Amino acid sequence: MKERIKTVKSLEELQDLYTATFGKNGTMTAKLKNMAALSNEERAVVNAENSELRQLFRDKQTELENAALNAKLATEFVDVTLDVEPENRGTLHPLTQSLKELGTILESLGFEMWTGPEIEDDWHNFTALNTPEYHPARDMQDTFFLENKNVMRTQTSSIQIRAMEKQGVPIKMFAVGSTYRKEMDATHSPMFHQIEGLYIDKNITLSDLIGTLRELLSKFFERDIELRIRPSYFPFTEPSVEFDMKWDNGKWLEIAGAGMVHPNVLKNCNIDPNEYQGFAFGFGWDRMAMLKYGLNDIRAFYDGDIRWLKNSGF
Ligand code: DAH
C-alpha cells in the first residue's frame, strides 16, 4: 500500500485509493473494525500503520496539489518584459495646441477673441479694408472667388471689420481662423490659419504695437525675442510695417504684418479717425507652430497622418 501511494500520479487516483483504504469498505477500515479481537501489541501495529498511511496520504496530496499549482503558474506566466502596445492616448493637434497658447497670452494682455465666416463678402474681405475693386493690392492675395462676389476669406483682417462694425470703439480684440489662397508648396497650403490683432482707442501708438508683439512672441517662444521693424505696405494700415524676429541661427525671420489702422478703414466702420486710432497685426498661426515645434512642411498639419501627429513632439 505504501508503495502504491507513492506512485500515484493524480489527485483523483489518490482519492480513489483513499476511499479503498479508509472508506466504508476500505481495507484499513476493516482492520480498525477488527481491533477488539486483537492483542495490545497487534493493536499498536495497526494504529501505527493507520497513522503512517494517513500521513502518507496527506503528504501525497500536498505534493500533487503543489505540482498542479506549479504547472498552472508555468502556463499562466506573464512576461512583464515583453513589449506591449502603447496606450492609445489622444493628443491635441499642434495647431490646436499653439492656438491655445497664443490665445491665452493674448487674453492675458486684454485682447478678446472673435471669429467670423470663412465665406466672406467683398466688403469685409477687401473693400472695407481700404482695398476697393481694381485696387492693385487685391493681386497680393490669390483669391478663390465664389458666386455673388463672395470669396473664401483670404485674411482674418475681415474679422476686424466685423468686430468694429458690431462693437464699435474702444476695442481690443484678436481673431483666429482658416484663410484660403490659391497657393501650395512646402510653406504654403491653400488653406492655412491666421491670427489677427486689433487695438483701437484714443491714445494708441506704434510703440504699443511693438510692445504687444514682443510680449506675445517672447511668451510663446519662451525666451526674449528680438524684433526688427521694416517699412511695408498693406492697404489697411498707414504706416505699414513688417516684423522680423531674430531666430536661433542668427537669421531674421519675417513673422508678422502690422501697422496703424488706416483712417479710411476706421471711417468704413463709422469710427472717427480724428478721435480714435490704433494698431492691427496679422500673422500665420501655422508658421508660428512650425517654428516653435521645428516642423518644415506645412502640409503635414493637414494630412491627418496619425503617425506624424504622434511623433511631432506634442
Ligand atoms: N492681412 C495681412 C495678410 O494676410 C496680414 C496683416 C497685415 C494683417 C497687417 C493686419 C495688418 O491686421 O495690420 O498678409
The domain spanning residue 110 has which CATH number? Answer: 3.30.930.10
Least Cα distance to 132 among 231, 266, 236, 239 occurs for 236
Is pLDDT at 314 greater than 60 in this prediction? no
Least Cα distance to 13 among 22, 4, 26, 23 occurs for 4
Determine the distance separating the centroid of ligand 1 and the alpha carbon of 235, expressed in angstroms.
Answer: 9
Q: Give CA angle at 220 (217, 221), nearest 5°.
A: 85
Query: Which atom of ligand 1 is the closest one to the Cα of 283?
Result: 5
First-last CA distance in the chain: 73
What angle do the packed helices 206-221 and 285-293 form, to 10 degrees? Answer: 40
| Mean local confidence (pLDDT), 262-274 | 98
| Exposure string for 6-34, b = 16+ CB within 10 A, e = fewer | eebeeeeebeebbeebbeeeeebbebeee
Residue with cell 484678436: 174
Same domain, 171 and 56: no
In a domain, 84, yes or no: no
Same domain, 158 and 68: no
Biggest distance spanned by C-alpha atoms of the chain:
133
User: Residues 109, 218: contact at Cβ < 8 Å?
Assistant: no
In a domain, 88, yes or no: no
Alpha-carbon span 126 to 104, nearest angstrom: 29
Same domain, 67 and 139: no
| CA nearest ligand 1 atom 13, residue | 258
**Which residues' Cβ are closer than 6 Å to ligand 1?**
155, 157, 196, 234, 237, 257-259, 280-282
Mutate to test the pocket of ligand 1, among 196, 209, 210, 288 (most ligand atoms within 8 A of CB): 196
Mean pLDDT of the chain: 92
What is the extent of the structural domain holding 26? 2-75
pTM of the model: 0.72
Same domain, 273 and 134: yes
Whole-number percent of the chain with pLDDT over 90: 75
Alpha-carbon span 249 to 95, nearest angstrom: 24
Q: What are 35-58's pLDDT values in tens digits?
A: 989 999 999 999 999 999 999 999
The number of distinct structural domains making up the chain is 2
| CA nearest ligand 1 atom 7, residue | 257
pLDDT category, 313, cuts 50, 70, 90? low
